[in-house]
Structure 1
Amino acid sequence: MRHGGRFAVVGSYDGRCLFYSTDQLKYHTQIHVRSTRGKNARGRKISGIEPMPGEDKILVTSNDSRIRLYDLRDLNLSCKYKGFTNTSSQIRGSFSHDGKYIVVGSENQCVYIWKTHHDYSKFSSARRDRNDFWEGIKAHEAQVTCALFAPHPDLIFSHVDGELTRLEQERGERGSQSSASPDPTPPAEDAKKDSLDKKSVGSGGTSTMGYVLVTADFNGIIKVFLNRTRPKHSSLPASALMREAPATPR
């Protein structure tokens, strides 16, 4: 949907995005999703369409192993993202909750992440309509059919922190030689924790703690990666962390 829900968009097998008015589904216009020359000059199947949070743009994934960002104000291509492999699968790219990152699965068992915006003044020669700088994660042993950022990551971080605190308290109780069984979470401390949890979830869905990435592969395996950007008291297991590193050019 776009422009307050007045239009709907659908992808086709021949690489077109067709726009229809939601009133009686009348045809409005279309975008040809393809390269101007080369092997991708012929349109390939559209495998995903995603609106960009807070902006009048859409992200289009296609079977030529490309993701394209279009500005709906003039239907022009804003940027093309490449690096992953998608030649025949129904793989789709999507945004993080804040629109700062793009993530997509791949047929080569990896997950790829791009920044939606770069400071191009730091690059000696970089085209603003192409983004070849990605971070790749070998996430599975089969093709990654789905990769999504959680829409409210702070809720997950708060839950994880609560579970870690509970486990630490249980270990402390088992190691105590006292016969008394004090309440592991006094009411005052419990209220304090609830207050902190509410503050950690920013207004408007803005995360203050990091990102949560969920991936699934062709064999039905689901994995969750946590990338914490704010320090915490308890450390997560290394296997549960998604490493944050500089983007790597292909």
Structure 2
Amino acid sequence: VSFLSRIIGNKKRGALPTHGQDASDPGDGRPEGMDAHLFSHSTDNVGFSPQYPQPPQYIKVRSKFKREKEIDHLFLSQQLRGGHQKATTFPLVSRTATEIASHTQAREDPVWALEFSKDGKYLAAAGHDKTVRVWAVISSPEERRDFEDAGSPQGGQGASPSPLRAPVFHPTPFRLYEGHESTVIDLSWSKNNFLLSSSFDKTVRLWHISRNECLCTFKHAEYVPSIQFHPRDDRFFLAGSLDLKLRLWSIPDKSVAFWAQLPEMITAVAFTPDGKSCIAGTLGGQLHFYETDNLKYSTHIHVRSNRGKKSRGSKITNIQAMNFPPDKPYGNLKILVSSNDSRVRLYNMRDKSLQAKFKGHVNNETQIRATFSDDGRYVVSGSEDKKTHIWSIDPGDAEKGEQPLEVFESNSSMTIASLLAPTKTRQALSASEDPIYDLCNPPPVTLVSRTESIHSSRPPTESENGQEIPSGETTTNRTAGSPAYVARNVHPGGHIIVTAEYSGSIRVYRQDCAYMK
């Protein structure tokens, strides 16, 4: 006993060794987003034994005018490359964002457009390097196993154990679309996974997720800063150009169905959710409203401050229309407008009145776009000060009459784009045996007989006689989840935030909804 006490030390009985502080405590030394480590730790830690170090600390999230934080317990899950350089994926040695940035400063490829597909299964990004990249969400256990096998370190005895990882996307792009001759500045998905890309080469190109080649090219007289698919009919899309013309293109006819002349250069366009109306924003801060049929003019408003330097109006960088509540097709229609006066404004479509103004971010020169979350609870935007800003739309959470805000430093250079992943992305990820989501919402367990247990314990590609089963055929069936389990798979506390920065890096942040466990 005395010999062991010299080695172990004189500790009180029952005391646990401490290796760092609990990152969930308030006031702790959490790193900023740009200094966050990629989330990974040894598989020995899965048992949550206190003598092993815990995962990296969560990222510091600051809140203003908010009683309680909602976007907390964030960690850096994955880093992708939107430019020419290769993606940083697990299980490489964890490096801080500052170190990663030092390797990428030699060549900057800004990502100007970032967009999730309507089904939540794909993320498209494009920018300065003229290439459109599409990443697929890891959505099945087989895909996750393939990812783990591809990233597992090689080596025999003495090799370090493979780390536990929580990626969202396959590190290798699912599609690489090439053909544009200049910077790509906007993207738009249709409900059937067609993808439009507009570029400084004065063209709009059409792609589909099932094909590698361009399906069609639509030429314009000037740059096309903004495009959007018709929300109900894939055959049409809206394009706003610097030649002052708003065009409604017919894809089957490869021609302009209707067009309208505006008094200023068009910098942003959008449809209303029913597709019956469309909106165009201009360089001088005007919003013009049209009926989609024949592009018949309706009215216009001026987006500007009441006083100060910005009272003349600033360039509109993005427009988004959404029904509230989002699941009601005939709800209260609201318009979200981003502009180059570092303001995001919320308008009521019915009477064009200003309902709310979101501020705190910096957007004076770049094409930063604020967007709604798909559930209508948040507005998220990048910023020229390297941060991501997330405002709560619910007025009941506001203090002092200001819009509740949560902000974190997400990049080492300007954060050009920030998106909250849609609910369908979280649902797809939860079906892949994701380590965070499975701990948050454990999958159903069914008791089976001894024979069935032995049978199901074999690898999914091996039959009873030891022969391999062709790919696509398995000998086990997954247990169907209860309605309550399926409902919990939306993981409302497990948000995924994707950001793109000026250097070309795309970072995936995740909210740890299983931190209590």
Which among 470, 478, 484 is matched to residue 191 of structure 1? 478
Contact kept in structure 1, 2:499 and 2:507, CA below 8 Å: yes
| TM-score of the pair, normalised by structure 1 | 0.72
What residue is the counterpart of 2:320 in the other structure?
50
Measured after TM superposition, the shift of residue 101 of structure 1 is 0.8
CA distance in 1, matches of 2:351, 2:382: 29
What residue is the counterpart of 2:282 in the other structure?
12
Contact kept in structure 1, 2:273 and 2:322, CA below 8 Å: no
CA distance in 2, matches of 1:111, 1:73: 30
Q: Give deviations 1:6-52, integer Å, cap 9, x for gaps.
A: 21001100001111111111211112111111222110000011123
Change (3 A) 1:109 1:155: same
Letter aligned with residue 432 of structure 2: H
CA distance in 2, matches of 1:115, 1:208: 14
What residue is the counterpart of 1:64 in the other structure?
341
| TM-score of the pair, normalised by structure 2 | 0.37
Which among 38, 41, 52 is matched to residue 311 of structure 2? 41
Q: Secondary structure at the match of 1:14?
A: coil
| Unmatched runs of 5 consecutive residues or more in structure 1 | 166-180, 236-250
Q: Give deviations 1:56-115, integer Å, cap 9, x for gaps.
A: 001000000000000001100010000000001110101112110110000111100000
CA distance in 2, matches of 1:159, 1:210: 15
CA distance in 2, matches of 1:196, 1:149: 27
How does 1:50-199 map onto structure 2 within 5 Å? 50-53=320-323, 54=326, 55-119=332-396, 123=399, 125-126=400-401, 130-131=402-403, 133-151=404-422, 152=424, 153-159=426-432, 161=434, 182-183=457-458, 191-192=478-479, 195=481, 199=485
Letter aligned with residue 137 of structure 1: F
What residue is the counterpart of 1:226 in the other structure?
510
What residue is the counterpart of 1:248 in the other structure?
none
Measured after TM superposition, the shift of residue 4 of structure 1 is 2.5
CA distance in 1, matches of 2:511, 2:459: 29
| Unmatched runs of 5 consecutive residues or more in structure 2 | 1-270, 327-331, 439-455, 461-473
Change (3 A) 1:97 1:188: farther
What residue is the counterpart of 1:177 in the other structure?
none
RMSD: 3.3
Contact kept in structure 2, 1:154 and 1:209, CA below 8 Å: no
CA distance in 2, matches of 1:160, 1:218: 33
What residue is the counterpart of 1:200 in the other structure?
486
Letter aligned with residue 411 of structure 2: H
Contact kept in structure 2, 1:11 and 1:18, CA below 8 Å: yes
Change (3 A) 1:208 1:39: same
Change (3 A) 1:46 1:164: closer
Count of matched residue positions in the alignment of Structure 1 and Structure 2? 209
Q: Secondary structure at the match of 1:155?
A: helix
Letter aligned with residue 373 of structure 2: S
Bigger helix share = 1
Q: Give deviations 1:98-139, integer Å, cap 9, x for gaps.
A: 11011000011110000011326x73x42xxx52x3111111
